A and B are shown apart, each in its own frame.
Chain A
Amino acid sequence: MAAAALTGLGLAGARDGLRAKRFSARELAQAHLAAMETGRALNAFITETPERALAAADRSDARIARGEARPLEGLPIAIKDLFCTKGVLTTAGSHILEGFAPPYESTVTANLWRDGAVMLGKTNLDEFAMGSSNMTSAYGAVANPWRRTGDNRPLVPGGSSGGSAAAVAARLALGATGTDTGGSIRQPAAFCGIVGLKPTYGRCSRFGIVAFASSLDQAGPLARSVRDCALLLRSMAGFDPRDSTSVERPVPDYEAALTGGIRGLKVGIPREYRVEGMAAEIEEIWGRGVAWLKAAGAEIREIALPHTRYALPTYYIIAPAEASSNLARYDGVRYGLRVPAESLEEMYERTRGAGFGKEVRRRILIGTYVLSAGYYDAYYLKAQRVRALIARDFAEAFREVDAVLAPTAPSAAFAQGEKMDDPVQMYLNDVFTVPTSLAGLPGISVPAGLSAEGLPLGLQVIGRPFDEETVLRAAGVLEAAAGFDHRPSFLASS
């Protein structure tokens, strides 16, 4: 089979091809490693791990030959560089972790290797996952493989899982891991025309994922189809005694949930998501999504999520507050960057001043301020109370409906350098994804169509806690109806 045909397969297709011995795991890995070489201009990877990939592929071939193939046997995937991988450089997109090779493996990646997946490399991201454009990475911006029609300026892939989304969209990897704190899986998936799923908080272990905002961080898959996301999630998810917020409940066969049947499913349309100044084409694609679900037999209802407009300011207290605590550990003493100085105090300050980029520094300072004596109640406690109201809005809505349909992002991908002058403008990217994160709910983004400029637009399905199955099933219906088969301007040719 030609290499380009191999990188064009989905995870499920490649799995079936490997089982049927139409090609080997080594050929599949080689095709992707070659694609990664031709796609280097995208800067999607911080670290490539070709030797490791080939060695793992050979082990997979041996297993397949013995008839002992595991669920993801021989499937090459990319790992966001926020997951600790034993002995492999893990940077979180930050200078402060320079040279850090973790002595342990994150649970999510360990689960993927247990099931036979093959690591191609570690993908670029916004520094410490703080960003919506991948522009804050200390390892440089990532280019979206998509370009506007008739305009060659590089666009952002979204963020923070921008390298993962770009790699999957450009066919450098069959799938990838991401993490989502306020939209970091769903928004880049929408910008790059692929599928991205943020599971329920507690579904995937956070052990070994570099912490950003611990009450919000959740790992999830990015892939080119809903089925492929289902496949990855089944391996990634599961109880882990090493994460105290990991939830002990069985992992369903998510692929089996993709029955295509949503007759009678009640789908809510939140009226507060019709935000002022929303682009007409976003509203239009949302309307198309409603029509597709209706045609498949779903009942559509308007619902109210009254505290929606307070979600972003709530998030920008809680996330920086947690980040400022989590990032206190980077002190230059035992690992990572150290800037020597006369006094200990100065060593800390110089190390952290040099090691953190501007956005991370901004958030640490905001977090320190809202947690400081005299402001804690006014900011942090207030935000936690509003968060409770936002979660309550969803809980009440889910008494009436089984799922919610909304746009993923308020716009298509923007150009590199745009929205950089005003942090608040950048934060508004996550207006439709942050409420779900604050409520800890599962959400998926599915590519639904193209903007007038020829860029992908995503639709989001949100579900009840631990009801990823309904989310995937509804997403599968949208995917089939949308028939999104557009190709990005850049596709790796290997």
Chain B
Amino acid sequence: MSLDKATVRSIAALARVHVPEEELEHLAGELSRILGWIEQLNEVATAGVEPMTSVVEMRLRMRADEVTDGGLQEEVLADAPERAGPFFAVPKVVE
């Protein structure tokens, strides 16, 4: 699979990562090489093989529905770029 500049531009937009126009060409080459190398997986017969999502054979646990922590407002807000009282003050993210 060979990616062109336009495809890289659209993947970058999907990933919300700004890529300067002058780097697109080079990046397309790199990503194409990586994807070309990855494609050797097509040689492997995998019909009937279940996709592996976890290496640990386990079921997710249920836990009691109870409050285990909380009251950490000051700690949680410590990294806030800006705050308004007990809230994060951030650029408008919901139109």
Chain A residues at the B interface, C-beta cutoff of 8 Å? 99-104, 201-202, 215, 241, 244-245, 247-248, 307, 309-310, 313-314, 316-317, 324, 328, 331, 333-336, 338, 340, 344-350, 352-354, 356, 361-362, 364-366, 368-369, 372, 379, 381-389, 391, 422-424, 438-440, 465
Would you call B79 an interface residue if the criterion is a C-beta within 8 Å of the partner chain's C-beta atoms?
yes
Contact B38 A379 (CB under 8 A): yes
Q: Which of B1-57 contact A (CB under 8 A)?
A: 3, 8, 11-20, 27, 30-31, 33-35, 37-44, 46, 49-56
Distance in angstroms between the alpha carbons of A389 and B44 in the assembled complex? 10
Report A94 CB to chain B, min CB distance, Å.
Answer: 13
Please name all residues of chain B whose beta carbon is closer than 8 Å to the beta carbon of A334 when the two chains form the complex: 79-81, 88, 90
Contact A391 B46 (CB under 8 A): no
Report A314 CB to chain B, min CB distance, Å.
Answer: 7
Report A203 CB to chain B, min CB distance, Å.
Answer: 10
Report A466 CB to chain B, min CB distance, Å.
Answer: 10
Please name all residues of chain A whose beta carbon is closer than 8 Å to the beta carbon of B33 when the two chains form the complex: 422-424
Contact B16 A331 (CB under 8 A): yes
Please name all residues of chain A whose beta carbon is closer than 8 Å to the beta carbon of B3 when the two chains form the complex: 369
Distance in angstroms between the alpha carbons of A349 and B18 in the assembled complex? 5
Can you list 6 A-B pairs, Cβ within 8 angstroms, ordered by A?
A: A215-B54, A314-B41, A369-B35, A386-B44, A439-B55, A465-B56
Report the nearest B residue to A201, measured CB to CB: B55
Please name all residues of chain A whose beta carbon is closer than 8 Å to the beta carbon of B18 when the two chains form the complex: 346, 349-350, 352-354
- How many residues of B are counted as interface, with CB atoms below 8 angstroms from the partner's CB atoms? 51
Cβ-closest 10 pairs across A and B = A440-B55, A353-B18, A384-B51, A103-B75, A385-B46, A335-B79, A388-B52, A349-B18, A368-B15, A348-B16
Given contacts A324-B15, A361-B17, are A310 and B52 in contact (CB under 8 A)? no
Interface of A is mostly: helix
The contact string, 1 if C-beta is below 8 Å from chain A, for chain B 58-80, is 10110100000000100110111
Would you call B85 an interface residue if the criterion is a C-beta within 8 Å of the partner chain's C-beta atoms?
no
Most buried by A among B33, B52, B72: B52
Contact B15 A101 (CB under 8 A): no
Would you call B91 an interface residue if the criterion is a C-beta within 8 Å of the partner chain's C-beta atoms?
yes
Contact A385 B52 (CB under 8 A): yes
Given contacts A331-B16, A349-B18, A364-B17, are A391 and B11 in contact (CB under 8 A)? no
Contact A317 B38 (CB under 8 A): yes
Please name all residues of chain B whose beta carbon is closer than 8 Å to the beta carbon of A336 when the two chains form the complex: 79
Report A342 CB to chain B, min CB distance, Å.
Answer: 10
